[in-house]
Structure 1
Amino acid sequence: MHSVASVRTFTTIGALTVACVIAVSTSAFAKDPGGSQFDVEGSNEKDSGQTLESSIVFSGSTKGSGGESSGGFTPIGNWSPPACWYEPKWTPAEFATEFQKEWDIPHASGVGEAYNLAQDHYKNGNPYEDFNESETGKGLWWSAVRDTDREEAGDPAAFACDTATFWVENGETPNVENAVTPDILAQLAYNRIKVPDTKVTLAPETTTKVNLPTWAWLDQAEFKEVSVTASLNVGGVNIQATTTAKPVSLKLEPGTADAETYPSSGECAFNDDGSIGEPYAKGKADRTPPCGIKYLRSSGDGTYKLQATVTWEVTWTGTGGAGGDLPNGTFGADQEVVVQEIQSVNR
């Protein structure tokens, strides 16, 4: 399955030191490849800029590529993939066309002044001249991109890329945080990985008894390595990275303090064949399950919410032999368990 990043591309001149205080209404603002510094005062940052598709393509086990009982995992700790980044967008001619198109608006009070500042910056030699037309074939204009989901959720990180649209010569890596590299692509791929549902098989199934060990296991066919490749091929910039997640453990949380887990930590390791735990079979009633739970109190008229969470170990490899580790991720699900009070159990 291949997908193109659902993101918002925008350009900003916000890093420039030119001061431009413009007093006009909220509805009149510049949507400009030249940038948000030239947006008139009072405009909504979320509405400024232009909406374009990112050129990054994702393939592999991506979210949205089928299967309802699956999703993306949550990074352990405070780390998160970039909510915005920079990537190559235009040749000089393309940028000039885009610039003029976005500025082709009635010059209301204040907008004309912002337009003149943008013209000076990209066309009139302060510092760029004619959108760097003389450098055609020697580089590209790079611009910032927002992750649409995180932008719409109001995540401040989506608005952190405020460096002005900038020129990058061929073969150079921009000295700007979150400019696309294999490492950044790997992090973006992390955010696209789809992992299977974590509903465990139980024996007894759904209804168990007080003080009766309940066996839990996961099928080896479902839990195996998954990966997503993110690639970018624009105007000679051709890089990629593959991010791979490997399941390493299952954490069982019974949903009540009146329970014991097997093992006592509640952490069940994966077996060599990719399965976890051991299926219950006739004749195992007197054995302690390698992965499971024993409830010590009835759930009464209700249920306990058993939570099963799989931890995934994440690594990546990329263009030029780059690679490394990324934070582990977790993905879990709840399932209802009924626990009945039975004084004696005939096994």
Structure 2
Amino acid sequence: MIRPRGTTKLAAIALAAVVTTVPATAYAAGGEGGPKNQRDSSSSRGGLQNGKINVETRVQTKVNGSSGPAKPGKLSSVDGDWTPPACWYEPAFSPKEIEAKVKAWRKVKLFGIGDFVGDVFDGYYKDGEPYKDYNLDKQGEGMFWAAAVNPNRKDDPEANSCDKLPFWVPESETPKEPLAVSPKVLAEYAYDELPLPKTEITMAPDGETKVNLPTWIWLDKAKFRKVSVTASLPDTNLSATTTAEPISLKINPGTKDATTYPASGECPIVDGRIGEPWAKGKAKKTPPCGVKYLRSSGDGSYKLNATVTWKITWTSTTEPGGRLPDGEFGADQNVTVKEIQSINR
């Protein structure tokens, strides 16, 4: 019987070679795509993908502030070089569960692949390089941590950056691995889970306006308020709360032939409101937030884009917390602009 030995990378390379030759129906050990009759409660979270054992994350989220029934909006970071983590490592398997996973692999009889993969894992977790007997003598004293993919970013190439095989972490110890789950990682994950309201502005006139007529723009004060999400990992003290607070509205009229109010096109929040509702008697006033079109849209319409900038902060009971990159979330609205008709007598 072959007992490959060596480092994590060597084992991963060997497993990668196996994975590329195994049909999807042969994924055992509770892997995604594995036959249901080969799954059990001890291995249902794990799957062998591209030479790695990945697990479905156990991180849970809870919305603490509600912004109404709006579906979660996709925040775009104003920092183009930053995104929430695509993967991390989290506590996943007890010694008995790792052992059960290897036994499940040995049930795959296709071309002897099951035994080959079992031998690779035995060489790593059973025969003393670097573990012995799956750490069964340490049952209850720690967990094997495995790679978990952010479900919001599973198609992100960075989701493959967590390429280590499950590694042992004693109870109450923090692994030195930079991608190990932590309050900050949870806060960054919660960034993706913030349920933001649709950026649907109110305009006056609504739908159709006239050339050189200022159009007032504002946002519903009740909808645009702070919203926060708490992300936590069950059975640990790892938790973080990420909060989004609207700070401004950016207007892009959809044409160069327009004037925005203010000139920057960015309307700040004043007294908790973005913009000011139009009312009778304000016709000759300049809107604090709005747009004036200088040319007709002809037979079509202009695509006005309204984007809200959100300030993002996070807190935790175990770490100081701080700021995360501001986020933007916007939407387009069609605006028809007509010429003012004059009557010739």
Length-normalised TM-score, structure 1: 0.83
1:325 matched to which residue of 2? 323
**SS of match in other structure, 2:175:** coil
**Structure 1's 189 and 70: CA in aligned 2 closer, same or farther, altered over 3 A?**
closer
Query: Do structure 1's residue 279 and structure 2's residue 282 form an aligned pair?
Result: no
Instruction: Tell me the alpha carbon deviations over residues 140-174 of structure 1, each in whole angstroms, 9 at most, x when there is no partner.
Output: 111001134432xx321111100121000122111
Q: For 1:302-323, what per-residue CA distance to the aligned partner results, in whole angstroms no more than 9, with x for missing partners? A: 0001100000000001131430
Aligned counterparts, 1:1-347, within 5 A:
15-18=8-11, 20=14, 25-27=21-23, 31=28, 52-60=55-63, 67-68=69-70, 70-76=72-78, 77-106=80-109, 108-109=111-112, 111-151=114-154, 154-234=155-235, 237-272=236-271, 274-342=272-340
Shift of 1:113: 3.1
> What SS class does the counterpart of residue 180 from structure 1 fall into?
coil
SS at 2:304's partner residue? strand
User: Which whole-Å deviations, capped at 9, do the CAs of 1:171-215 have from their partners, x for residues lacking one?
Assistant: 211111221000100001111111111111101111100000000
- Given that 2:249 and 2:267 are in contact with CA atoms closer than 8 Å, whether structure 1 keeps it comes out as yes
3-state SS, counterpart of residue 315 of structure 1: strand
Question: How many residues in Structure 1 have an aligned counterpart in Structure 2?
Answer: 318
Q: Evaluate the alpha carbon distance shift between residue 257 and residue 61 of structure 1 in structure 2; reply closer, same or farther with a 3 A threshold.
A: farther
Structure 1 56/62 Cα, relative in aligned 2: closer, same or farther at 3 Å? farther
Matched residues in 1 for 2:101 and 2:73: separation? 37
Contact kept, 8 Å, 1:23 with 1:110, in 2: the verdict is no
Instruction: List alignment gaps of at least 5 residues for structure 2.
Output: 1-5, 32-47
- For structure 1, the 5+ residue unaligned runs are 1-12, 35-44
3-state SS of 2:99 partner? helix
Supply the AA of the counterpart residue of 2:237: N
- Sort the Cα spacing of 1:134 and 1:49 in 2 relative to 1 into closer, same or farther, 3 A: same
Contact 2:53 2:147 in 1 (8 A): no
Tell whether the 8 Å contact from 1:248 to 1:313 is kept in structure 2 after alignment. yes
Rounded to whole Å, the distance in 1 between the matches of 2:55 and 2:208 is 52
Q: CA RMSD in A?
A: 2.9
Task: Answer yes or no: is the 8 Å Cα contact 1:61–1:193 preserved in 2.
Answer: no
Deviates more, 1:139-148 or 1:183-192: 139-148
Give structure 1 regions of 4+ aligned residues with deviation exceeding 4 angstroms: 21-24, 28-34, 45-52
Answer yes or no: is the 8 Å Cα contact 1:248–1:270 preserved in 2. Answer: yes
> In the superposition, relative to structure 1, how do residues 149 and 141 fare at CA in structure 2: closer, same or farther (>3 Å)?
same
Percent identical across equivalent pairs? 47
Whole-angstrom CA distance in 2 between matches of 1:224 and 1:66? 10
Distance 1:24 1:74 in 2: 35
Q: Structure 1 residues 14, 222: closer, same or farther in 2, change over 3 A?
A: farther
Query: Which range is displaced more, 260-269 or 318-327?
Result: 318-327
Deviations 1:201-251, CA, capped at 9 Å, x for gaps: 1011111000000000011101100000001123xx321000000000000
Shift of 1:100: 1.9
Offset, 1:93: 1.8
Q: Secondary structure at the match of 1:249?
A: strand
